[in-house]
Amino acid sequence: MAKFPYDIVGFDLDGTLFDTSRDLGVALNHALALAGRPPVPLDDVTRHIGGGASQMLRSALTESGGVDEAAFDGLQAELVAFYARNIAHHTALFPGGADMLDALDARGVKIAIATNKKEGLALRLFEEMDLLHRFACVIGGDTLGPGTSKPRPDMLHAMVERCGGGRAAFVGDTTFDTGAARAAGLPVVAVRFGFCDVPPDDLGADAVIDHFDHLVPTLERLGA
């Protein structure tokens, strides 16, 4: 087997590696009910997901009548607490995800997570799904402090450093991911099946894939 061109492959979490939409949607609707707002249909919740819990809640509130700033922080805390208690009822790897992780492992790649989800929530999800051991590092939106989440490059720089350095690529599904990768100087692959905030082919990625079966050969081509 030829040497794989990347030492590190990083992933966004929500909408990239995992379909978390239904668990996030249930938590969002819990918060909306507390605010006296109508629920978002679970099949339609993905368009609110992408920048973390705060952005998801703000997007849904804006659409249903506006944001009460005085109540927002408390409502967000309720959303996050509910989600933490119900984090893995419906969440699963996207199709082909398990085999893809195995393929990267077989090539000696360090697999990392850089997500705008809070670090504690990401760790809790991985622990409940017995997957934490698969990742060399997990960096959340609050890991490095305020003002460092995607689309800034800080999380991806930290990802490379914490994995011991080397050639890295990133995989995501939104402009937050492609923007961060571009700012960090990393090649980026977008997934067409994610929670894309613009059409996948308009994300500005180096490549777009339809299934995780295509990720390893795509990275080999990009890194050649």
Residues with a catalytic annotation lie at: 12
What one-letter code names the amino acid at 13?
L
Q: 98-107: buried (b, 16+ CB within 10 Å) or exposed (e) per residue?
A: eebbebbeeb
CB 137 within 8 A of CB 159: yes
- Give the contacts of 187 (CB within 8 A, at least 6 positions apart): 169, 170, 181, 206, 222, 223
DSSP secondary structure string for all residues of 138-179: EE-TTTS-TT-STTSSHHHHHHHHHTTS--EEEEESSHHHHH
The 3-state DSSP class for residue 18 equals strand
